[in-house]
Amino acid sequence: MGFKLRRERTGGSRTWFGKMLLSYLPAFFILTAFLFFIFFQILNSRNQDAARKTNDYVTRQAQLVVDASLTAIDQKITLEMLRNRTVLRYFSEPTAADLSLQVNVMNELAELKIANPLIHSIYMVRADDRMVLNMSTTYPLSRYPDAPFIESSLKSPNSKWSNLRLYKELPSETGTPVVTLTRSVSIFSGRYGLIVINVNAASLQQLVRDMYDASVTQLHLYDGSGQDLFHTDPSTAAPKANKTLASASVSDYTGWRLVSEWNDGKWITFLLSLFNVWLVLGLLVCALALGWIVWMTRQNYRPIRNLVAQLERYSPGSGAVKDGDERYGGEFRYIHSMMENMIDQNSRFQLQLQQDLEVKRNFYLYGLLEGIRQVGPEEWAATAEQHGMYPAFGKVFVVVLEIDRSAEWRRTYSQEEQDGWKKAVESIVGGLTEKADGCRVWMLWTMANQLAVMLMSEGDEPDEAMSALIGEWHARIRDDMPFEMTIGLGEPAVRPENIHDAYQEALAALQYKSIEGNNRILKHTGGPTGRGEVFRHLQRIDGIVDLLRLSDAKWRAEFRSLIRQMELDRASREDIGQVMNYLIFNLGRAVEGMSAEYRRLWSTDVMPALAKTLAEVEMMGDIAHAFFEALEAFEERVEQSRESRNQGVLIKEVKAFIESDFARPELSLDYLSEKFGISGKYLSRLFKEEFGLKFVDFLIDLRIRHAQQLLAETSLPVQEISERIGYSSPISFARTFKKIVGVPPIDYRKEKQG
């Protein structure tokens, strides 16, 4: 009889299932279609928001690129006006017949143009004789085609970049659309003349051309008069743009306005305008579908109720279901009472089994990744299946997902929240991998912020397909998670023995996110990494430390130059930490020789802040910014402390005197003692406390640095150079120079001058 009951239940279930399925299909299709439409509308709205954000981003980035390029030209020209003796001589000593000087100036202009590809042309105007010199020849101002612009610029030099204008070097030319920067020579007085720099408007557009798709987006750069610097040719009219998706950015530097517009987008606006009509129709259809579902549910419920009643007659004591009792759960009381205990026991057993398998699997994976366990193809085939992997080792990608700004992430979320986000990341990776045919994934959190993933293909899956799947992980995490993750990817492992190497390559790839940036996929290329340049970077630290402790503002430029060079060399995070730790160490040594007040300031405020930055900050730019601010603050507080004390003001005067009169052969502690009216011993102690080095060392370093400049830039004899820097004996100078620099003066000149 029990067999008969089971047979009736099975046959009835099939009939009921088919009937239910067919009866609900119309409502299902109606509701699905409506939900699809709603999804489509929401997706369009999100796309429009994303388009606006993209437009805003492109606009801001393009504005920054243009401003940075023009600012670089401005700063370069200004610097040249301050330090270029050839140019200053041309303006301050005008001599019409000095062809050699003119040729040298033309060469300087050519070098400026070569160094700045944006520059279309550059010329100089001498106010005394009203002559114009460009890169090829000279003209009287009255005959130069650009004379009207020059006349107006002579009245107001050092202005901002001009509006769009046509520039001609010859009267026969049609003219080139340019923007112009004028700087007076000298910079602060303007009494010598002008230097005029023209930048081709087309080259400005070329700067940002790769930042957007011209078939989708238009960029317009309007100057102060409303002229478009990106569309100077009327024959190349831009397609009609959608003004509703436009964004604009105004430069604080030039005052120009950059506008980004989409070429298409009216269809989105049209569909959104129909949204309300479709919504009303959809609600009516939903109401009809709901009525259909209720009616069909009542019809299909009767067989279920009869079946449960029949089952309860064969199960005394389980409690009968009264006729008409349609409360959810009543008809399943018998099933619940019979299976509850079995399900509970089975759940506990399965949970314990799953936990045991998870621990074994994680330990096995950890051993493979760290190289603790060496597994050959035979052992892999025997053990992989029980761990959820393919027995045949095809191809394995070892991937490491690292949470960016992990210190900030740990401060933001509690431990429970962190565990929840980690589970969410695992769910994304596992869910997307399940949808990919022939792929399995194995995950393990090897560190608090690092998820190691072993992605395995059943066959010889193309690298592009596996890389595309990893890209889907990254895109999904970026969209769904409130934090960012960077993915490191090693070379594919084709044998079990290669898994450890692939894991190390993925970790090595993550080392370069300090330079490459967060929230991206970094692949191990196996190429040069720039680590051999670390020693060269360490050598520059000593110079920065010396400048900083002497309160020489040049340390800022040297520090920025070091950071730029490390970025160009693609220094890894490990190399960055090594260089910055060396900077902290050398600064600490320098401060140890200074007064107790400066040592206390360093040990309590500055050094802990720098150490915390290295421990928590990941990006090269952020590390450099934090170090720069901390060192500037340290320098400022040292200066404030020095200014507040009489001996501090005195020692600054002594230092300034030494820097201006270091070439005196008789310069010594006794000489300074007589000049400033204090004892030489006291002066030496003050110098040591304020700057962390002895007076003699400071004087020698000053003289040798000046000698290096003269050896590199002039052809003066070594004896004359030694006399100019305060050495009465060339032999003594040569001995000291070799001791400090490492090579004799003659060899140093050959190395620098070639």
Q: How far apart are CA 242 and CA 265, in angstroms?
A: 6
Portion of the chain with pLDDT greater than 90, in percent: 1
Instruction: Kindly state the average pLDDT of the residues 724-752.
Output: 83
Res 13: pLDDT: 44
Residue 146: CB atoms within 10 Å: 24
Fold category of 647-753 in CATH:
Arc Repressor Mutant, subunit A (1.10.10)
CB-based contacts of 82, cutoff 8 Å, min separation 6? 187
Res 12: pLDDT: 43
Instruction: Kindly state the average pLDDT of the residues 209-217.
Output: 74
pLDDT band, residue 10 (cuts 50/70/90): very low
Phi, psi dihedral angles at 190 (to 5 degrees): 70, 15
Q: Is 138 left (phi over 0), alpha (psi -120 to 50) or beta?
A: beta
Q: Which of 15-29, 104-118, 428-442, 491-505 has the lowest mean pLDDT?
A: 15-29
Q: How far apart are CA 636 and CA 657, in angstroms?
A: 22
Q: Compute the mean pLDDT over every residue in the chain, rounded to the nearest whole number.
A: 76
The DSSP bridge pattern shows strands 242-250 and 217-222 to be: unpaired
Instruction: Kindly state the average pLDDT of the residues 55-65.
Output: 83
Report how far apart, in Å, the C-alpha atoms of 307 and of each of 163, 321, 641 are. Answer: 88, 11, 93
Residue 450's H or E segment, with its range, is strand 450-457
Res 325: pLDDT: 44
Q: SS3 helix, strand, coil % of the chain, rounded to 5? A: 65, 10, 25
Q: 438 or 245: whose pLDDT is higher?
A: 438
Q: Does position 749 have pLDDT exceeding 80, yes or no?
A: yes
Phi, psi dihedral angles at 77 (to 5 degrees): -65, -45
> Which tokens is 507 given?
């970790």
Q: Strand pairing partners for 184?
A: 194
pLDDT band, residue 15 (cuts 50/70/90): low
Q: How far apart are CA 617 and CA 630, in angstroms?
A: 14
Q: How far apart are CA 398 and CA 491, in angstroms?
A: 8
Q: 667 or 256: whose pLDDT is higher?
A: 256
Res 8: pLDDT: 41
Nearest to 432 by CA among 399, 459, 406, 410: 399
Instruction: Kindly state the average pLDDT of the residues 530-541.
Output: 68
Instruction: Kindly state the average pLDDT of the residues 199-220.
Output: 79
Q: Write out pLDDT tens, residues 229-254.
A: 777 765 554 555 555 557 888 888 88
Q: Does position 521 have pLDDT exceeding 80, yes or no?
A: yes
- In 93-158, beta strands by DSSP E: 119-126, 131-133, 138-140
Which residue is listed with tokens 């079995």?
Answer: 342
Q: How far apart are CA 581 and CA 570, in angstroms?
A: 18
Q: How far is CA 93 from the centre of its chain?
A: 48
Res 219: pLDDT: 82
Instruction: Kindly state the average pLDDT of the residues 349-356.
Output: 59
DSSP three-state, residue 647? helix
Q: 401 or 283: whose pLDDT is higher?
A: 401
**CB distance 219 to 258 below 8 Å:** yes
User: Hey, where are the domains in the chain?
Assistant: 43-273, 275-303+312-353, 374-523, 531-644, 647-753
> Which tokens is 431 given?
């869910």
Q: Does position 264 have pLDDT exceeding 60, yes or no?
A: no
Q: How far apart are CA 191 and CA 727, in angstroms?
A: 39
Torsion of CA 213, 214, 217, 220, to 10 degrees: 130
Q: Does position 704 have pLDDT exceeding 70, yes or no?
A: yes
Rg of the Cα trace of the chain?
Answer: 39
**CB distance 400 to 488 below 8 Å:** yes
Residue 232's H or E segment, with its range, is none
Residue 211 per-residue DSSP state: G
Res 433: pLDDT: 84
Burial status of residue 490 (CB atoms within 10 A of its CB: 0-12, 13-18, 19 or more)? buried
Res 646: pLDDT: 62
Res 243: pLDDT: 58
Q: How many residues does the chain have?
A: 754
The DSSP bridge pattern shows strands 439-447 and 450-457 to be: antiparallel
Fold category of 374-523 in CATH:
Alpha-Beta Plaits (3.30.70)
Assigned CATH class of 43-273: alpha beta
Q: Does position 640 have pLDDT exceeding 80, yes or no?
A: no
Report DSSP letters for 500-526, one per residue.
HHHHHHHHHHHTTHHHH-SSSEEE---
Q: Strand pairing partners for 167?
A: 176
Torsion of CA 443, 448, 449, 453, to 10 degrees: -10
Q: 218 or 461: whose pLDDT is higher?
A: 218
Q: Is 126 left (phi over 0), alpha (psi -120 to 50) or beta?
A: beta
Portion of the chain with pLDDT greater than 70, in percent: 77
Burial 87-126 (b: 16+ CB within 10 A, else e): bbebbeebeeeeeebbeebbebbeebbeebebbbbbbbbb
DSSP three-state, residue 424? helix
Res 327: pLDDT: 40
pLDDT band, residue 172 (cuts 50/70/90): confident
Instruction: Kindly state the average pLDDT of the residues 710-718.
Output: 86
Q: Does position 108 have pLDDT exceeding 60, yes or no?
A: yes
Q: Write out pLDDT tens, residues 122-153.
A: 988 887 888 888 888 888 888 888 888 888 88
pLDDT band, residue 580 (cuts 50/70/90): confident
The DSSP bridge pattern shows strands 485-489 and 521-523 to be: parallel
Q: Strand pairing partners for 453?
A: 399, 443
Task: For residue 327, give the amino acid letter.
Answer: R
Q: Write out pLDDT tens, residues 289-340.
A: 777 777 777 776 676 667 666 656 655 554 444 444 444 455 555 555 555 6
pLDDT band, residue 360 (cuts 50/70/90): confident
Task: For residue 514, give the amino acid letter.
Answer: S
Instruction: Kindly state the average pLDDT of the residues 154-159.
Output: 76
Q: 453 or 339: whose pLDDT is higher?
A: 453
Instruction: Give the Cα-Cα-Cα angle 268, 271, 276 (nearest 5 degrees).
Output: 135
